[in-house]
Amino acid sequence: MKRLLSVLIVLVVFAGFASAQNITVSGTVTDSNGETLPGVNILIEGTSTGAITNMEGFYTLETGPEATLVFSFIGMTTVKEPVNGRTVIDVTLSDDSHELEDIMVVAYGTTTKEAYTGAAEVVDNEIIENRPVTSFEKALQGTTAGLLVSSSSGQPGTSATVRIRGIGSLSAGSSPLYVIDGVPMANALTDINPNDIESITVLKDAAAASLYGSRAANGVIIITTKNGRAGETRISFNAQVGVASRISDGYSLMNSSEFYQHSWQGLYNTALLDGKTTAEAKIYAHENVESIVGFNPFGVDDPLDNDGILKPGTKVVTDTNWRDEVYKTGIIQNYNLNVSGGNDATKVYFSLGYFNDNGTTLSSDFTRYTTKVNVSHKVNSFITAGMNNHLAYSVTNAPPGGTQGANPVRSAEIINAASPVYNNDGSYNWENTAVFDFNPVGLAELDLYEYKGKRAMTNAYINFDILPSLKFRTTGAIDYGSDKGVNYYNPYHGNGAGVNGRSSMSNTENLAWNISNILTWTRTKNESNIEVLAGQEAHGESYSVLSAGVTDFSIAGYPDLSWGAKPETPGSYTSEWNMISYLSQVKYNYGGRYYLSGSLRGDGSSRFGKNNKYGLFYSLGASWRLTEESWMPQVKWLNNLKLRGSYGTSGNNNLGNYASLGLYGSGANYGGFPGLSPVQQENRDLSWEKISSLDIAIESRFFNRLDANVDYYIKESDGLLFSKPLSAGTGFGSILTNLGAMKNTGFEATVSYEAIKRTNFQYTVGFNISTNKNTILSLTTDKIVSGTKLIEEGESIYQFYMIEWAGVNPDNGKPMWFVNAESDDDESSDIPDSAYDDPLETGRKVTSDYTDAERVRLGTSLPDYFGGLTNNFAYKNFDLNFYFYFSVGGRVYNNDYASNMHDGTQPGTNLSTDALNAWTPDNRYTDVPRYVTNSTDQGGQLSSRYLEEASFLRLKNISLGYNLPENLYSKLKLQGLRVFVSGENMLTFSKFKGFDPEGALNGTTSNSIPGVKVVTMGLKLDL
Amino acid sequence: MKNMTLKYIKISLAAVVLFTITSCSNDYLNLDPSTSIPEEQVFSSFESANSALIGAYDQLSGYTFDGLFVPILSDIMGEDVMINSVDNWNWFVAVYQLNVLPNYVFAESPWWLGYKVIADANKIIDNAPAIPDATEEQKNQLLGGAKALRAYVMLKLVEMYAPAYSRNPEALSIMLVNKTLTANDESLPRAPLSAVYEQIEKDLISAINLLEDNDDKGFLDKRGAQAVLARAYLNTEQWEKARNMAVDAYTGLDLVSGTELLSGFNYRNSETIFTIAYTPEDNNTYLSIPSFYYPVSGYSSMRANNNFVDLFSTSDIRGYSFVLEPQIDPNRYLIVKFSHNQLVGNAERISIRASEMYLIEAECEANLNNYAEAQDALYTIQKRANPIARKSTSTGQALIDEILLERRKELFGEGFRWNDIKRTQGRFTREGDHWVKFDIGPEDEDYYRLTFPIPQSELDANSNISESDQNTGY
């Protein structure tokens, strides 16, 4: 309708042009803040005559009374004003960027929010910039509904786990596909400087993501990096320094006196159980306590009295807080310089970045250098060409994790406080009874775990505007990553002692290439608009590793392989995959009210089995903007109402490169002869996981202040890849099969309210919440028990399955578990002989014989719902933003806590102070079993004793900024100056016993470096 | 007109770019890995098929099977040696306490790796006859080698996971996997002991016929198959057959001298019948027998029981295997029988040697009431270690007991004690400086602890073995 009108106007203008007499028009052009704009270009439409505003924003020109004036200025929206006989025309130009916000970067192109038929959310750079995180996805936590972000380690330089709309796969990857500047990424996210990012689009449903076909199952995250803008060149410099510390103190550990006395008690109890008399038992405990603890931390030989209690006044010589030794205050530094500018033909953005996080744990740190150059150039009227380049170099020091002896985090928890860090002569003490010869402080100095990464991402494109309605874009991209790792164990202590030092080096190279050719055709006729996209894409990745190692070093501290006398077997391999795709999409819009979209993509992949080489994926989407309907009453309180729905399919191709083949692997050498051994069974039918998703949503805006969007989705995965456990008789533990089906359903709601909108004071509050229910629909095997989990139909993928803790028997201090004879863990429901009535009066049967209790289902590790609450205040030149992240529901099996509550099975290993509450005849009602050195009570076995609730609320980020007023910064010859302070993870509210309730999605802890809280100060200069 | 031409040029240019890259060959979507090969290729030539047999031995030598777990568990479950409770990273503590649960690595890993070897051997047995370029001799070598290996592993598995044959020959034992099982095949139930022993016997007799004697003792040859069969007959108390096989197995081998018994047991010698052939490149460093046994440079956490040490006469050279070194352990005897060869853990593990065959001969003869022959065989072993030993004059059970005691002295640490208790249904008594003591006989309920549980993972994955088929006691 509008178009028709403007055509009419133009016609009228042309018609009147010859006949009308000229008049003089004048006026002032201002921006939206009321400031006058000098240099605004004013043209009489259809001619080349016009004027330019002066320093005060004033203009004057002669024109016909029916002419139309076109006001344009770089960075501002162009305004057309019909003269209509007026002689004074004042015009306000608004910022162009406003319009840009509505343009969303989506799969293979852009769209506007109004026209989009899919579920996608845009996160702009304000959220990402200047956060003390190595990788941008960590900054996304809590910002977008449906996006679950969880960090399981505080190791600097690691990425977080990201899931869009639940976990779509049992064992194939569930990570989204990351696409940067239109090209799928193949290497680490941490190589990207978050400050180079312009915006991030999260594609959630089929209409949004299906165009990525066999890689779209887990959603897509599209990263758009910054580009130059025509106009004055802008130089800006960011500097930021932060102080990081452990996110919380965790549960407390015993000091040396407590541990010494407790160990005495354990020995005493053991002796009593062995049938010794009280007197004998005391002697036994006195004799052995020092060897169990490893050290006598006191100044005297006989520190304990007859009852194992520390004699008053005994001097404590050693009381090591191993956490204090292993953890330190980290410093984070982040500096960025970027330059952006250009003209109508050529636009350039380049940046330099330096990021350094020296870690909160000994020998863990991360340093990254990045550069970026984005250029686009208009060659002629129909060709535009450009390049996006990104280079990164990073150095990471990351000590080993998990249960390895050299894991400093684990050492800090389990070496008892009676063990000194240093001997009297100042040398490291390597003795301890938990991780003998692995003093974490000494190893941090002597060993090396260093990884150096180089990364080059480059893509070049050419756009041909063949016809005004027909465009063609061809893109070629390379993503190359090369990493070098060194693990060096010193010759004297720890891992290297037995072989007189060991150094292992590996070089990995990952090369991904991508070529795409996309043709788009658009046509507008009357009220309808159609856009057709057709294209082709080819993608390939090749990963290769070269590794070598040596042992037997003559000198310590030199990790290069040349120093070692004895070479170890070197290794190398290459792993590749390829994909060829054809894709097409049609978008149709009628009158700005009805929108339809459809997409189709075919993928052929080398990863799929012989019988399933090609997959076809499609989507359909529609939306309806009710508020644009003419019959809709125009009410003040309703500004926008849009209904939207989509359905489509996608695939998950993360099945490994050669998973369908029956293979014999090399390297099974024996006796000096080369050998081969079967490594994998053949599965010719192996195929991608098929995902279908349905999305229904309402988008609305009320009172011009309140935005509210609600989405409901059902995402069904079929043919889930799973390593089906096999009987040992096959010779394989499992085979990868398309085994099951799973469903994720959930609601997502986002509300944003512009509570205060005054010139000097704005306040916006936002809230988002997501629910997700994960249900396994079918499996070819009834039940799959894996570790702490049971996978079965009708339940969540991360359903805990273990024996149920019943507490401690007050009569003898033995652990008790509920028998749960009716559980289907064992077919029979016979009550075992060892069962007895729960003395704690639950009315249930318990047993103190671990093997007689049956496993039961104990909930899931996944949260029931999670989300964020954001608050943005702006007052004059100040701004204050803070947001909370919450995660409710979900449980964690706390392995770490379990190892500090061992009841005497690991007699030299440190204990939580909670263990002081162990059962004794005088402390009968407790949840901690009796402490018996080398206990066989099995109290530490896998059970719900260590299963905890993991809900938490966290003040994720709070930042306060101040923009210097113009009169101040212009005196400094600057274009702008901003100073800010911010705090990351400042407060956490949780009942969880460990350092951090946020962790691995499967809900188990593994002595990872705890998360960090960071306080940073920074400034941003615009030159 | 000119404009139109330009347009056409542009369109055709775009079309060319669009379609040049789309043509792709079949290879593009069919990639092969760089470090593994398809199964068909393995059995297309003798050389690669032979590599598969070597690969199967590599599995056997893994530390969770014959490289460490199987032999060390067998002694830790006995009365003669013990594992430290501290400074040991909790290795084997539950085994020492006779407290192994179905989900423990000590029950899980040997089962899984054992069956991996069996599966590897089955593939060779299934495919060897059809290898195009192999001579009859080469096919025999592959078939015989694979069968001997399969029987060797099955024998270890029944000893671990089933009660003694002498107690109940029809007791449920292990899965009898005698051909390749694929993922689509139904999983197998536990077969009765008798069926498994029948398979073991069949395989070994076949292997004895197919194989020649081989100089490389890293592989089971004819002599090796005979020795394994002697063990199987001993377990099933077929005394005559066991004796014959034992004698066949040692005939032609020279026992090492007494002093050589103290040379560290880390490399094959003249009396070796089969050894796990670790090389310096392939040694298991810390997860090796010497790492646990030798008093330094490793876990060094094995100790000898004082009562056991006291059994050695002062003139018995084997008594030098025990030392007291208060700086390392103030209370208990250290063991120097198994030492490192220059590098930590670099040691072959001698798995079968002629001395054992003499002792089998002795035991069989004693049970056959051929006391003189039994005393001779026993004396061969005794006098080598103790030049002033006197030939036994005992008969009957007393002689058998002497022979069993000699087995303890001669073979401790080599993986026999626990099965000896089981197969003879003897009393399990731990006394002296043991930190976990036992005194149980076959009539006691706790005797079940001498049999490992079927691993939880097998119960979970196998549709034909359920919790109710689990070994008694678990």
The complex scores an ipTM of 0.91
| Cβ-based contacts of B177 with chain A (< 8 Å) | 729
The tokens describing A949, both together, are 């609730």
For A464-475, give the DSSP string.
EEEETTEEEEEE
| Cβ-based contacts of A492 with chain B (< 8 Å) | none
For residue A317, the distance in angstroms to the closest alpha carbon of chain B comes to: 23
| Cβ-based contacts of A668 with chain B (< 8 Å) | 54-55, 58-59
What is the per-residue pLDDT for B21? 46
Q: Which long-range contacts (CB under 8 A, 24 or more apart) does B454-457 make?
A: B454/B102, B454/B107, B454/B111, B454/B161, B454/B190, B455/A728, B455/B102, B455/B103, B455/B107, B455/B108, B455/B111, B455/B112, B456/A785, B456/B102, B456/B103, B456/B107, B456/B108, B457/A725, B457/A728, B457/A733, B457/B103, B457/B108, B457/B112
Q: For residues A1012 and A245, is the Cβ–Cβ distance under 8 A?
A: yes
Q: Which residues, other chains included, contact A573 with Cβ-Cβ below 8 Å and sequence gap of 6+?
A: A544, A545, B33, B34, B35
Provide, rounded to the nearest whole percent, the portion of chain A with pLDDT above 70.
Answer: 97
Coil/strand/helix, residue A888: strand
Say yes or no to pLDDT of A18 above 60: no
Residue listed under structure tokens 């499996």: A779
What is the per-residue pLDDT for A10? 40
Q: How many CB atoms lie within 10 A of CB B329?
A: 18
Domain boundaries, chain B: 44-180+189-455
Residue B14: pLDDT band by 50, 70, 90 thresholds? low
Say yes or no to pLDDT of A769 above 70: yes
What is the per-residue pLDDT for A967? 86
Optimal mutation site among B6, B7, B51, B157, interface A, most CBs of chain A within 10 A = B51
Residue listed under structure tokens 């201002």: A30
What is the per-residue pLDDT for A801? 95
Of the candidates A671, A733, A571, the residue with the CA atom closest to the CA atom of residue B51? A671
What is the distance, to the nearest Å, from the Cα of residue A527 to the centroid of all Cα atoms in its chain?
43
What is the per-residue pLDDT for A99? 44
Domain membership of residue A6 (yes or no) is yes
For residue B403, the distance in angstroms to the closest alpha carbon of chain A comes to: 33
Provide, rounded to the nearest whole percent, the portion of chain A with pLDDT above 90.
Answer: 67
Domain membership of residue A859 (yes or no) is no
Residue A9: pLDDT band by 50, 70, 90 thresholds? very low
Q: For residues A413 and A387, is the Cβ–Cβ distance under 8 A?
A: no
For residue A262, the distance in angstroms to the closest alpha carbon of chain B comes to: 17
| Cβ-based contacts of B102 with chain A (< 8 Å) | 851
Phi/psi of residue A213, nearest 5 degrees: 55, -120
What is the per-residue pLDDT for B10? 58
Q: What is the spatial distance between Cα B383 and Cα A634, in angstroms, rounded to a whole number? A: 112
Q: Which residues, other chains included, contact B432 with Cβ-Cβ below 8 Å and sequence gap of 6+?
A: B305, B306, B307, B308
The tokens describing A325, both together, are 């030794």
The secondary structure element, H or E, covering residue A591 is none
The total number of structural domains in chain A stands at 1
Q: What is the spatial distance between Cα B231 and Cα B152, in angstroms, rounded to a whole number? A: 10
For residue A988, the distance in angstroms to the closest alpha carbon of chain B comes to: 35
8 Å CB contact of B115 and A671: no
Tell me: the pLDDT tens digits for A321-356?
999 999 999 999 999 999 999 888 999 999 999 999
What is the per-residue pLDDT for B316? 95
What is the per-residue pLDDT for A7? 42
Tell me: the pLDDT tens digits for A83-111?
888 888 888 887 764 444 478 889 898 88
Residue listed under structure tokens 């988002």: A768
Domain membership of residue A19 (yes or no) is yes
The secondary structure element, H or E, covering residue B8 is helix B2-20
Q: For residues B199 and B151, is the Cβ–Cβ distance under 8 A?
A: yes
Phi/psi of residue A168, nearest 5 degrees: -90, -5
Tell me: the pLDDT tens digits for A887-913?
999 999 999 999 999 999 999 999 999
Provide, rounded to the nearest whole percent, the portion of chain B with pLDDT above 90.
Answer: 82
Domain membership of residue A702 (yes or no) is no
Say yes or no to pLDDT of B330 above 90: no
Burial status of residue A642 (CB atoms within 10 A of its CB: 0-12, 13-18, 19 or more): buried
Domain membership of residue A74 (yes or no) is yes
For residue B44, the distance in angstroms to the closest alpha carbon of chain A comes to: 13
Q: What is the spatial distance between Cα A206 and Cα A211, in angstroms, rounded to a whole number? A: 8
Report the half-sphere exposure of A853 (CA within 13 A, side-chain side): 27
Say yes or no to pLDDT of A20 above 60: no
Whether A663 and chain B come into contact, CB under 8 Å, resolves to yes
Separation in Å, CA B180 to CA A730, B123, B430, B445? 7, 6, 43, 38
Tell me: the pLDDT tens digits for A793-826?
999 989 999 999 999 999 999 999 999 999 888 7
Residues counted in chain B: 474
Q: For residues A29 and A52, is the Cβ–Cβ distance under 8 A?
A: no
Tell me: the pLDDT tens digits for A361-372?
999 999 999 999
Q: How many CB atoms lie within 10 A of CB A932?
A: 25
Average pLDDT of B97-124? Answer: 95
What is the per-residue pLDDT for A6? 45
Tell me: the pLDDT tens digits for B404-428?
999 999 999 999 999 999 999 999 9
Q: For residues B139 and B128, is the Cβ–Cβ distance under 8 A?
A: yes
Q: How many CB atoms lie within 10 A of CB B355?
A: 24
Residue B340: pLDDT band by 50, 70, 90 thresholds? very high
The minimal CB distance from A670 to the residues B19, B122, B282 is found for B282
Domain membership of residue A13 (yes or no) is yes
| Cβ-based contacts of B462 with chain A (< 8 Å) | 727, 729
**Largest Cα span, chain B:** 122
* Helix, strand, coil percentages for chain A (3-state, nearest 5): 15, 50, 35
Average pLDDT over chain A reads 90
What is the per-residue pLDDT for A5? 42
| Cβ-based contacts of A474 with chain B (< 8 Å) | 17-18
Residues counted in chain A: 1023
8 Å CB contact of A727 and B32: no
For residue A350, the distance in angstroms to the closest alpha carbon of chain B comes to: 30
8 Å CB contact of B14 and A466: yes
8 Å CB contact of B37 and A676: yes
**Which residues are registered as beta bridge partners of B266?**
none
The minimal CB distance from A725 to the residues B89, B177, B457 is found for B457
* Helix, strand, coil percentages for chain B (3-state, nearest 5): 50, 10, 40
Q: What is the spatial distance between Cα A207 and Cα A216, in angstroms, rounded to a whole number? A: 11
Of the candidates B168, B413, B184, the residue with the CA atom closest to the CA atom of residue A727? B184
CATH of the domain at A11: 2.60.40.1120
The tokens describing A188, both together, are 């680490």
Report the half-sphere exposure of A392 (CA within 13 A, side-chain side): 32
Q: Which residues, other chains included, contact A297 with Cβ-Cβ below 8 Å and sequence gap of 6+?
A: A256, A257, A260, A316, A317, A318, A319, A417, A418
Q: What is the spatial distance between Cα B183 and Cα B462, in angstroms, rounded to a whole number? A: 11
Q: What is the spatial distance between Cα B364 and Cα B376, in angstroms, rounded to a whole number? A: 12
Average pLDDT of A411-435? Answer: 94
Tell me: the pLDDT tens digits for A160-211?
889 999 888 877 888 999 999 999 988 888 999 999 999 999 999 998 999 9
| Cβ-based contacts of B277 with chain A (< 8 Å) | 670-672
Whether A682 and chain B come into contact, CB under 8 Å, resolves to yes
Domain membership of residue A45 (yes or no) is yes
Residue A226: pLDDT band by 50, 70, 90 thresholds? very high
8 Å CB contact of A934 and B55: no
The tokens describing B174, both together, are 């292990």
For residue B21, the distance in angstroms to the closest alpha carbon of chain A comes to: 8
8 Å CB contact of A726 and B461: yes
| Cβ-based contacts of A575 with chain B (< 8 Å) | 33-34
8 Å CB contact of B87 and A726: no
Q: What is the spatial distance between Cα A579 and Cα A617, in angstroms, rounded to a whole number? A: 14
What is the per-residue pLDDT for B344? 82
What is the distance, to the nearest Å, from the Cα of residue B296 to the centroid of all Cα atoms in its chain?
25
Coil/strand/helix, residue A57: coil
Restricting to A residues 638-657, those with a Cβ less than 8 Å away from any Cβ of B are 657
| Cβ-based contacts of A735 with chain B (< 8 Å) | 183
* Nearest 10 degrees: Cα torsion A338, A341, A342, A347: 50
Domain membership of residue A26 (yes or no) is yes
What is the per-residue pLDDT for A541? 95
Q: What is the spatial distance between Cα A881 and Cα A884, in angstroms, rounded to a whole number? A: 10
Phi/psi of residue A462, nearest 5 degrees: -130, 130
Tell me: the pLDDT tens digits for B295-316?
988 889 999 999 999 999 999 9
- Give the single-character DSSP code of A299: S
Among the residue ranges A2-11, B373-382, B462-471, the one predicted with the least confidence is: A2-11
Q: Which residues, other chains included, contact A427 with Cβ-Cβ below 8 Å and sequence gap of 6+?
A: none
8 Å CB contact of B17 and A474: yes
Multiple choice CATH, B44-180+189-455, 3.30.428.10, 3.40.50.10190, 1.10.540.10, 1.25.40.390 = 1.25.40.390
Q: What is the spatial distance between Cα B123 and Cα B230, in angstroms, rounded to a whole number? A: 26
Residue A127: pLDDT band by 50, 70, 90 thresholds? confident
| Cβ-based contacts of A827 with chain B (< 8 Å) | 466-468
What is the per-residue pLDDT for A14? 41
Say yes or no to pLDDT of B3 above 60: no
| Cβ-based contacts of A574 with chain B (< 8 Å) | 34
What is the per-residue pLDDT for A4? 43
Say yes or no to pLDDT of A573 above 90: yes
What is the per-residue pLDDT for B26? 62
Searching chain A, which residue's CA lies closest to the CA of residue B174?
Answer: A729
What is the per-residue pLDDT for A232? 84
The minimal CB distance from B52 to the residues A291, A664, A726 is found for A664
Whether A381 and chain B come into contact, CB under 8 Å, resolves to no
End-to-end CA distance of chain B: 92
Q: What is the spatial distance between Cα A138 and Cα A160, in angstroms, rounded to a whole number? A: 6
Domain that holds residue A31: 2-94
Say yes or no to pLDDT of B388 above 60: yes
8 Å CB contact of B285 and A498: yes
Average pLDDT of B270-292? Answer: 89
8 Å CB contact of A665 and B35: yes
What is the per-residue pLDDT for A519? 94
Residue B393: pLDDT band by 50, 70, 90 thresholds? very high
Pick left, alpha or beta for residue A181 (phi over 0 → left; psi -120 to 50 → alpha; otherwise beta): left
Residue B28: pLDDT band by 50, 70, 90 thresholds? confident
